Amino acid sequence: MTKQELRHDSFVEGTAKATAFLQQNFMAVLVGIAAIAVVVLGTIWWSQTQERTAIQASQLMFRATSQYGGAQYSEALLTLDDLKSRFGGTDEGRDAYYLSGASHLALGESDPALADFEEYLSKRPHGLYANAAELGAALALESRGDLPGAVARLAELRASLPPDDALFAQVCQAEARVRQAQSDIEGAIAALQPLTQSDDFSQSLDAKNRIQALEALR
């Protein structure tokens, strides 16, 4: 036989074997193909579902943020409750607890504010709003009349923040205010002292004036 005939016989033989295999294992092959199709379709469906979830969660967070920024705190809370119930497993769903706490605090509702801040910190202890949530929790404690608890959180937060942090001045001022309410004049002065070195002239001047007023109360 020629080489061409040999190649032709090998092709025919291989085709015959493949045909026989398919005939004998048709159902197994069919099930395998169906399983692959299910996996592929499931992956596509999951990806599309995740994308829709992310979009809807972002839309709700944007609406709540806009409502909060417009001082529509009650409306923001309704939107945030919807976000938490529907998309609680997303980043937006977890961040909703921080904004919910801030909304309650703005409404003077210290107990639910504290609960939301604590929930946020339990879910995202190193999240974007962790320091702000700590400050919010301290302010909620102050509002409840728990001055020792508020001072403890504020002092710990102040010690953890660099002086150039956006929240640093607020924390120092809040701690000084609470310590003054406790008649801890020396502690209030110590809390304000770092602000006298601020590059912000008005902030530095305000801290010096407050310290001077506190010194008069000694």
pTM to 2 decimal places:
0.75
Protein fold of 27-124: 1.25.40
pLDDT value for 8 = 45
Query: For 168, what's the count of Cα atoms within 13 Å in the CB-facing half-sphere?
Result: 20
Query: Which residue's entry shows tokens 């069919």?
Result: 30
Sequence-distant (6+) residues with CB within 8 A of 182 are 147, 148, 151
Average pLDDT for consecutive 10-residue bins of the chain (218 residues)? Answer: 46 53 54 56 54 82 93 96 93 95 96 97 95 97 97 97 95 97 96 95 96 92
Listed by start position, the domains of the chain span 27-124, 146-218
pLDDT value for 218 = 82
pLDDT value for 13 = 57
pLDDT value for 25 = 57
